[in-house]
Amino acid sequence: MTFHDDLQRATDWVERYLAGVGDLPVATTVEPGAIRARLPVSAPEQAEPFEALLRDLDELIVPGLTHWNHPRFFAWFANTGSEPGILAELLIAALNVNNMTWLASPAATELEVTVLDWLAQLVGLPRGWHGHIEDTASTATVAALAAARELKPGGVVYASEQANFSVEKAARLVGLEFRKVPVDAEFRMQTDFPLEDASAVVATVGTTGTTSVDPVPELADRCAAAEVWLHVDAAYAGSAAVCPELRWCLDGCDRADSIVINPHKWLFTPMDCSALWTRRPEAFHDAFALVPEYLASTEAAIDLKDYGPALGRRFRALKLWAVLRWYGAEGLRELIREHVRLAQLFAEWVDAEPGWRVTAPHPFSTVCFRHEGLDNFELARATTATGEAFVAATRLGGEDVIRLAIGNERTTEADVRRTWEALRRCATA
């Protein structure tokens, strides 16, 4: 068996999977431990052909997966393993460079800072900031809070009660106290909290619950006056700013100290790829730069290991590069606009149906809604159990609500319609 044959088998598998993923049940019904019980207890002593792995992938693994690349996956924040992203991941593994320092792979470092500059331009962020890629927004926020701590150690991190829990985790990791700030009726962070004891404020553009946008311009004013670090978590909604008509969501972010946007959420880039920019790279450098003798830095070059927690760094820039070139800015805008259109359409259907209600503003591609007479956790579970669509429930302002988050390139109006019908059928049943 040659590598050529296996490569062909793998790419055939990928093509078949993507063509048929919409016909699979979106979410699996396996019981905990069921997959493990079918796997061998130890690694094989003898080499096995790659074909055997592909067979087991089909028989053992795929039936136990939740299919995030399914067009009717609407839970949490739906995303896309796009064609350019998939192809680039193959190339990344073939190259297998470790982009820890410039010298370790000069083109990888230079491509990373270049594509981050491209992306900053696409979403209207200032030019000239330092930008690099972290694995996740969780790590990016850890890095930002570590940088903030360099300037003001020992203080409090303030974020809204709707901020993603990764913010609290990051504060805990860098040893800063975390305090939640209440939200207004539209789930936006209130701004009248004390800043005297603050090390940092984290504003969210596109909260996990409702995709609400915190008042960044006001927070930026207050943080500037108090000399407090402002980090913006735009993990999901920041991608919307590729569309000029949605760019309002990043208003004020040019005055933040750091901002994170996840191309692996709503910019068609496979897991994982989180873009982090800062106008204060020296604070990141102070927090993270340690130079062991075996990794001497190169004059006039940038070592990206000095701006975040990890030493080993994947060549993630290659997939972001592939995505930005494959779609072009126009292609990305079209996809984002279509998702926003589908979400608005879905919200109209819900609003028009007696007994159902949209429960929060929906400026992007995520709609929170509820059936007034039912347990919405149970309704989401029953709908997901049909295998037709995956929706998840949460609690919001004391109510149980279902979220429909559109983010997959392959999702069509027919998919959204079919999901609405499945929800209504389950509600009636």
Ligand X SMILES: Cc1ncc(COP(=O)(O)O)c(C=O)c1O
Q: How far is the CB of 420 from ligand X (least distance, A)?
A: 24
Query: Which of the stretches 228-236, 281-289, 337-345, 401-409 binds ligand X when contact is defined by CB under 6 A?
Result: 228-236
The CA distance from 407 to 419, in Å, is 15
H or E segment and range at residue 8: helix 3-20
Window 100-139: contact mask with ligand X (x via CB under 6 A): ------------------------------------xxx-
Site string for ligand X, 271-310 (x = CB under 6 A): ---x------------------------------------
Count of residues in the chain: 429
Residue range at the interface with ligand X (CB under 6 A); choices 108-116, 200-208, 377-385, 399-407 = 200-208
Strands (E), 263-360: 274-278, 356-358
Q: How far is the CB of 282 from ligand X (least distance, A)?
A: 25
The answer to whether 266 contacts ligand X (rule: CB under 6 A) is no
Per the CB < 8 A criterion, the answer to whether 158 and 181 are in contact is: yes
Span from 1-9, 204-212, 275-283, 393-401 in contact with ligand X (CB under 6 A) = 204-212
Site for ligand X in 160-189 (CB under 6 A): 164, 166
- Asked whether position 366 contacts ligand X by CB under 6 A, the answer is no
Q: What is the dihedral of CA 297, 300, 306, 307, to 10 degrees?
A: -170
Closer CB to ligand X, residue 135 or residue 400? 135
| Window contacting ligand X (CB under 6 A); options: 43-51, 117-125, 205-213, 386-394 | 205-213
Q: Is 364 in the site for ligand X (CB under 6 A)?
A: no
Q: By CB under 6 A, tell whether 236 contacts ligand X.
A: yes
Q: Which of 80, 105, 199, 208 binds ligand X (CB under 6 A)?
A: 208
Cα separation, 282 vs 280, whole angstroms: 5
**Residue 259 binds ligand X (CB under 6 A):** no
Say which amino acid occupies 148: A
As measured in angstroms, the least distance from the Cβ of 235 to ligand X is 4
Q: Where are the alpha helices (DSSP H) in 79-188?
A: 83-95, 106-123, 137-151, 165-173
Residue among 101 and 258 whose Cβ is closer to ligand X? 258
The least distance separating ligand X from the CB of residue 363, rounded to whole angstroms, comes to 14
Q: Which is nearer to ligand X, 101 or 274 (CB)?
A: 274
Residue 365 binds ligand X, judged by CB under 6 A: no
For residue 43, the minimal CB distance to ligand X (Å) is 30
Burial of 328 (0-12, 13-18, 19+ CB in 10 A): exposed
Alpha carbons 288 and 124: distance in angstroms, whole number: 28
SS3 state at 379 = helix
Cis? peptide before 272, omega within 30° of 0: yes
Answer yes or no: are the C-beta atoms of 367 and 347 closer than 8 Å: yes
What is the phi-psi region of residue 398: left when phi exceeds 0, alpha when psi lies from -120 to 50, beta otherwise?
left
Structural contact between residues 233 and 207, judged by C-beta atoms closer than 8 angstroms: no
Choose between 142 and 283: whose C-beta lies nearer to ligand X.
142
Q: Which positions lie near ligand X, rule CB under 6 A? A: 77, 136-138, 164, 166, 204, 206-208, 233, 235-236, 262, 274
